[in-house]
Amino acid sequence: MDRDLIMIALFAALIAALGLIPSVTLISGVPISAQSLGVMLSGVILGARRGAMAAGLVVLMVALGLPLLAGGRGGIGVFAGPTVGFLLGWIAAAWAAGFVMERTRRLPVFAAGALAAFLGGVVVLYIPGIIGMAVVLDKSLAVATGYALPFIPGDILKAVVAGALATALHKARAGALMSRA
C-alpha cells in the first residue's frame, strides 16, 4: 500500500513537471503543454483508481495554491476560470484511461495504451472541459466545442505518444504497468 501511495505521488509530480518543462512542445509554435500527456500516462500506467488519485492530488494541490499547472499557474482562481472543466476532468480522464487499460489485456500494449489514452484523455476529458467553458463564458455547447476543437489534434497525437511510452516502459521495466499487474 505504501508503494501505491508513492507511485501516486510520483505521477502527480510527473504531471506537474511536464507542465513546467517549457522545452517539451509537441507542435512547435502551438502552446500545447505536455501536461495532459502526464494525465494519460497516470491512467495507462497506474490503472483507474491510482491514476485518478494521482490526477486528483494535482487538482487538490492546485486548489491549495501551488503553481503546478502549465506555465506556473495555480490557486483557487483556476477554479473560477474557463478551463476549470479540463482541470477537474483530469480525474475522470485518468480514471477512464486506466479503466480501458485494465480491460484490454488481450490487446498489445501500444494499441491498448493509445486507445485508453485517447478515450480517457480526449473523449472523457473534453466533455467536462467543454461544459466548463460553456458555463463560464455563457455560450452554447456547440460554440464551446468550436473553441476547444483546435486542441484536439495535439491531444490525439499525445494519446499515440502515451501508447508508445507505455510500450517502451513495459519493455524497460517489467512490472511497471501497474494497470495490468
Partner 1 sequence: MLSLTSEIPTPFHRVPAGAKLALLAAASVAIFAIPSPALMALPVILAALLYLACGLRFARQGLRALRPLWPFLLLLTVWHGFTQDWGNGMLLGGRLLSTVALANLVTMTTRLEAMIAVMARLLAPLRVFGVKPGRIAFAIGLVLRLTPTLLDRGRQLGLAWRARARRRRPGWQIVLPLCLTALDDADHIADAVKARGGIPD
Closest to partner 1 by CB, 78 vs 88, is 78
Residues with Cβ < 8 Å from 89, sequence gap 6 or more?
A: 124, 125, 126, 127, 128, 129, 132
Cell numbers found for residue 16: 506537474
- According to the binding rule CB under 8 A, does residue 131 interact with partner 1? no
- The footprint of partner 1 on residues 66-95 (CB under 8 A) is 66-68, 71, 73-82
Interface residue with partner 1, options 37, 52, 114, 125 (CB under 8 A): 37
Contacting range for partner 1; rule: CB under 8 A; set: 13-21, 85-93, 97-105, 111-119: 13-21
- The footprint of partner 1 on residues 141-180 (CB under 8 A) is 143, 147, 161, 165, 168-169, 172-173, 176
Determine the Cα–Cα distance for residues 163 and 169; give it in Å rounded to an integer: 10
- According to the binding rule CB under 8 A, does residue 5 interact with partner 1? yes
Evaluate whether 170 touches 176 at the Cβ level (below 8 Å): yes
Interface residue with partner 1, options 8, 96, 97, 114 (CB under 8 A): 8
- According to the binding rule CB under 8 A, does residue 140 interact with partner 1? no
Determine the Cα–Cα distance for residues 98 and 54; give it in Å rounded to an integer: 12
Interface residue with partner 1, options 30, 60, 111, 149 (CB under 8 A): 60
Tell me which residues touch partner 1 (CB under 8 A): 2-3, 5-14, 16-18, 20-21, 23-26, 28, 34, 37, 41, 45, 57-58, 60-61, 64-68, 71, 73-82, 136-139, 143, 147, 161, 165, 168-169, 172-173, 176
